[in-house]
Amino acid sequence: MADVRKHEVVVIGAGLAGLAAALDLQAGGADVQVIEAQQRVGGRVRSMQQLGSNKEAGGTYIGAGYTRIIGTAQRHGVELIDVTPMLQFFREQELVLDGKIIRQADWPHHPANRFPDDDKPIMPWAYHRQLTVRENPLSEPGAWLEPDAAQYDISVRDWLEQLGFDDAGVKLAYGMNVSFGEDARDVSALLLFFRAAFSVAQRRFAPEGVLGYTARNGVARIPQAMADALEKPVEFGKQVTAIENDGAGATLRCEDGTRYRAQHVVCSLPFGVLRDIAIDPPLEGLQAEAVSSLPAQPMTQVYFRHKSNFWEADGYAPSLFTDGVAGMVAAARNGDDPNEVTSFTAWTLGPNAAVLDALGAAGAGKRVIAEIEAVRPAAKDQLEFLGMQSWGTDPCARGGWAYFRPGQITRFAAVMGDPHARIRFCGEHLGRVSRGMEGAMESGERVGAEILSL
Q: What is the pLDDT of residues 361-415, one digit of tens each?
A: 999 999 999 999 999 999 999 999 999 999 999 999 999 999 999 999 999 999 9
Average pLDDT over residues 309-323: 96
Chain centroid to Cα 63, Å, comes to 13
What is the torsional sign of CA 198, 204, 208, 214? negative
Q: Where are the domains of the chain?
A: 4-44+216-295+400-453, 89-106+299-390, 114-203
Q: How far apart are CA 374 and CA 44, in angstroms?
A: 32
Q: Give DSSP secondary structure letters for 259-273.
A: EEEEEEEEE---HHH
Share of the chain above pLDDT 90, in %: 89
CB 260 within 8 A of CB 10: yes
The CATH classification number of 4-44+216-295+400-453 equals 3.50.50.60
Signed CA dihedral, 432, 438, 442, 444: sign only: positive
pTM of the full predicted structure?
Answer: 0.95
Residue 86 is predicted with a pLDDT of 75
Cβ contacts of 373 within 8 Å, gap of 6 or more: 379, 380, 383
Please list, in sequence order, all residues whose beta carbon lies within 8 angstroms of the beta carbon of residue 442, skipping any fewer than 6 positions away.
Answer: 68, 431, 432, 433, 434
Fold of 89-106+299-390: Polyamine Oxidase; Chain A, domain 2 (3.90.660)
CA pair distance 275, 397, nearest whole angstrom = 12
Q: How far is the C-alpha of 294 from the C-alpha of 181, rounded, in Å? A: 11
- φ, ψ dihedrals at 260, nearest 5°: -125, 145
Q: Judge whether residue 11 has pLDDT over 80.
A: yes
Indicate the pLDDT class of residue 334, thresholds 50, 70 and 90.
Answer: confident
- Predicted pLDDT of residue 51: 46
Is residue 76 scored above 90 in pLDDT? yes
Q: What pLDDT, on the 0 to 100 scale, is given for residue 50?
A: 54
Q: Once rounded to an integer, what is the mean pLDDT over residues 292-316? A: 96
Q: What is the pLDDT of residues 18-62, one digit of tens each?
A: 999 999 999 999 999 999 999 999 999 988 765 455 568 877 889
Q: Is the peptide bond between 281 and the residue preceding it cis, with omega within 30 degrees of 0?
A: yes
- Per-residue pLDDT band for 1 (boundaries 50, 70, 90) equals very low
- Summarised one tens digit per residue, pLDDT across range 164-201 is 999 999 999 999 999 999 999 999 999 999 999 999 99
Q: What is the mean pLDDT of residues 107-128?
A: 96
